[in-house]
Amino acid sequence: MRLISELEHFTLHDAQGVIDGLLSTCRDAGLASVKGNTFAITLLDGLSSREELVLATLNAALGTIPQFGGSAGDDERLANTHVFFEGRFHTGAATVMLVNTPLDFRVFSTHHMQAREEKLVVTHADAKSRTVYELNAEPAAEAYARAVGVAVEELDRKVFALRPMGVRIGGHYFVRSVQRVNADRSLTFYCAVETGIVMTAMEPGSLLESVRKQIEASERVVGPPLVTIGCDCFLRRLEAEFTGVVDEVSDFLRHHKVIGFNTYGEQFDGMHINQTFTGVVIGQPDAGYSHN
């Protein structure tokens, strides 16, 4: 594992140095060849607003090595997030771990949000602060509230959890979750936004069925799980509470040996995403399956 102590100044050269050092450690251990037997876990300060750049840079250095992870939270206080490394907490930082194993594994990502017809064009935004001032050339909170069918005054964490927006990239929708409504009726997001992108209103399908489908598909590849490590968006946890399925989802995850975190943002192969469950299923020794 390595610490990235200053996300603000992280470069491709730095990323290559971090990954080269971790690969050297894996090779020295001699557990398995690197190719096909290695994955990366990243944990980032959840309020750094640097996830996109850092993850894209690390992904370039990782090459074909799959990666997943999450952004640290602070129980919705949105005040102080950090990562833990070698006995200390670090703000504005990240950790990167390479796992090299002869066991079969599958890295996955899933969400259950479905696209609606409403489209919202970001007509004024500040990418650095992830704040959208205008959607469809009107105050962002007003346009968003109309799209989801509530008054601006009713926009709250429940609406954010159940009615996020999404951006379509390469034929797939990736969720962009609202963090808060500001006094000027702008919206601040947990993920990257910029002027010119088109957002689509989203609504939830079945949270449990999407998790079940992805976990069971992974287990068909790697066999009975030794453990599954997951990063699950805290907004998904809120949704499960609002819709009364917490116990059912928790029972399923326990049965499938899932451990992990609720996160402010999730990470998958160099992307920073929201309201997603991402992780790795690791098979038991001698199960006779293969992730290749």
CB 274 within 8 A of CB 160: no
Q: Where in the chain are the domains? A: 2-108+207-283, 113-204
d(CA 263, CA 8): 21
Q: What is the mean pLDDT of the chain?
A: 94
Q: Which DSSP category does 284 fall into? A: P
The model's pTM: 0.91
Question: What is the chain's length?
Answer: 292
Q: What is residue 85's predicted lDDT score, i.e. its pLDDT?
A: 96
Tell me the per-residue pLDDT of 203-227, one tens digit each, with 9 for 90 and over.
999 999 999 999 999 999 999 999 9
Q: Which residues contact 106 (CB under 8 A, 6 or more apart)?
A: 218, 221, 222, 280, 281, 291
Q: What is residue 217's predicted lDDT score, i.e. its pLDDT?
A: 95
Tell me the per-residue pLDDT of 156-171, one tens digit each, with 9 for 90 and over.
999 999 999 999 998 8
CATH 2.60.40 fits 113-204, yes or no: no
Beta-sheet strand order (sheet of 265-268) = 2-4, 94-100, 38-45, 67-72, 265-268, 271-273
